[in-house]
């Protein structure tokens, strides 16, 4: 039985690409759920990460980095951010302490309009000096919408407990929304596809990662291992050639990297088979996007 003091709520994690939103989600959960890479626009979906304790359930949403969309896929990614904010009991706006990039004025204006408490999280404090942090703090004050500002390092797990305590302060008394055993709303197939996508982001450069989509077409649990079949979708034949590489070596490395990570995630041996398929300009094709789980 849940106590009368049980809290539950939705917390939307938003910010520019690369600010460390997915790393922060993983830090909250103490588990690697969302994929993380040094490249911008790694996350393409809204991914729920559920933190369960006897007295609370926090449903975090990791979201794609906020950008001005240039093609249909990016438009859909920005829809996921809006949905996440609409449901939220609290919005965590993550900014990167390194460099001097701030959220776009337009996106800040949109967020300001929402009748939801917002807090500012300045991330990557392990990598920067005090004066630049001060600049970020002052920027936050000037926005006149954040209830508070917290300094963290999601990567080094610094001040995450303090942030969590603060988050709980904004959540209402409410029964759990999801089963208290659940870690996410997504299934193993989804995370398997994400892990392969992460390895594509890490192994290939320029447009390749952005031109790829991964679909898990088969997932068979056998006695001694899982057999995972995946299709990697690319936009052009030349990209297929690059993915495969000389004598198939690039694809072999990608498959090995993905399999190792998959085995870690699933805690079981994995046999991974990959096929590459060309779907011309899938990123701009509404029908294909719908098929791949992007809403229009």
Ligand X SMILES: Nc1nc2c(ncn2[C@@H]2O[C@H](COP(=O)(O)OP(=O)(O)OP(=O)(O)O)[C@@H](O)[C@H]2O)c(=O)[nH]1
Stretch that binds Mg ion, among 18-26, 178-186, 196-204, 259-267 (CB under 5 A): 18-26
Minimum CB distance to ligand X, residue 43 (Å): 3
Binding partner selected for residue 153 from Mg ion, ligand X, none, CB under the kind-specific 5 to 8 Å limit: ligand X
Interface with Mg ion, residue 159, by CB under 5 A: no
Sheet holding 226-234, edge to edge: 213-221, 226-234, 270-278
> Is 21 or 283 the residue whose CB approaches ligand X more closely?
21
Q: Which residue is nearest to ligand X (CB)?
A: 65
CA angle 241, 247, 251 (to 5 degrees): 60
Taking phi over 0 as left and psi of -120 to 50 as alpha, with beta for the rest, 41 belongs to left
Which of 12, 43, 61, 85 is the binder for Mg ion (CB under 5 A)? 43
Neighbours of 228 (CB within 10 A): 26
Site residues (CB under 6 A) for ligand X? 15, 17-23, 36-38, 40-43, 64-65, 123-124, 126-127, 153-155
> Is 67 or 114 the residue whose CB approaches ligand X more closely?
67
Minimum CB distance to ligand X, residue 64 (Å): 6
Minimum CB distance to ligand X, residue 167 (Å): 17
> Is 43 or 149 the residue whose CB approaches ligand X more closely?
43
Minimum CB distance to ligand X, residue 61 (Å): 12
> Is 157 or 229 the residue whose CB approaches ligand X more closely?
157
User: How many Å is the maximal CA-CA distance in the chain?
Assistant: 63
Stretch that binds Mg ion, among 38-46, 131-139, 251-259, 271-279 (CB under 5 A): 38-46
> Is 89 or 198 the residue whose CB approaches Mg ion more closely?
198
Minimum CB distance to ligand X, residue 185 (Å): 18
Interface with Mg ion, residue 22, by CB under 5 A: yes
Binding partner selected for residue 202 from ligand X, Mg ion, none, CB under the kind-specific 5 to 8 Å limit: none
Minimum CB distance to Mg ion, residue 159 (Å): 20
Binding partner selected for residue 184 from ligand X, Mg ion, none, CB under the kind-specific 5 to 8 Å limit: none
Stretch that binds Mg ion, among 16-24, 192-200, 214-222, 237-245 (CB under 5 A): 16-24
Chain contacts with Mg ion (rule: CB under 5 A): 21-22, 42-43
């Amino acid at each position: 039985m849940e106590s009368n003091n049980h809290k539950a709520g939705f917390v939307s994690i938003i910010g520019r690409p690369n600010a460390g939103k997915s790393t922060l989600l993983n830090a909250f959960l103490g588990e690697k759920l969302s994929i993380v890479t040094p490249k911008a626009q790694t996350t393409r979906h809204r991914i729920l990460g559920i933190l369960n304790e006897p007295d609370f359930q926090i449903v975090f949403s990791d979201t794609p980095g906020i950008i001005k969309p240039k093609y249909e896929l990016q438009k859909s990614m920005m829809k996921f951010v809006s949905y996440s904010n609409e449901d939220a009991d609290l919005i965590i706006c993550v900014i990167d302490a390194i460099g001097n990039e701030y959220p776009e004025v337009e996106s800040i204006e949109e967020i300001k309009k929402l009748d939801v408490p917002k807090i500012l999280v300045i991330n990557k404090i392990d990598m920067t000096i005090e004066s630049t942090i001060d600049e970020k703090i002052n920027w936050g004050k000037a926005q006149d919408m954040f209830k508070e500002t917290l300094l963290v390092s999601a990567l080094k797990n610094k001040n995450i407990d303090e942030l969590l305590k603060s988050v709980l302060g904004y959540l209402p008394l409410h029964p759990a929304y999801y089963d208290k055993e659940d870690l996410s709303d997504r299934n193993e197939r989804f995370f398997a596809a994400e892990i392969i996508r992460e390895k594509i982001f890490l192994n290939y450069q320029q447009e390749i990662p952005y031109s790829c989509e991964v679909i898990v077409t088969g997932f068979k649990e056998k006695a001694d291992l899982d057999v995972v079949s995946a299709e990697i979708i690319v936009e052009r034949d030349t990209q297929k050639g690059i993915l495969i590489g000389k004598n198939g070596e690039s694809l072999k490395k990608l498959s090995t990297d993905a399999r190792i990570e998959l085995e870690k995630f699933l805690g079981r041996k994995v046999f991974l088979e990959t096929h590459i398929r060309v779907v011309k300009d899938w990123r701009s094709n509404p029908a294909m996007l719908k098929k791949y789980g992007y809403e229009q």
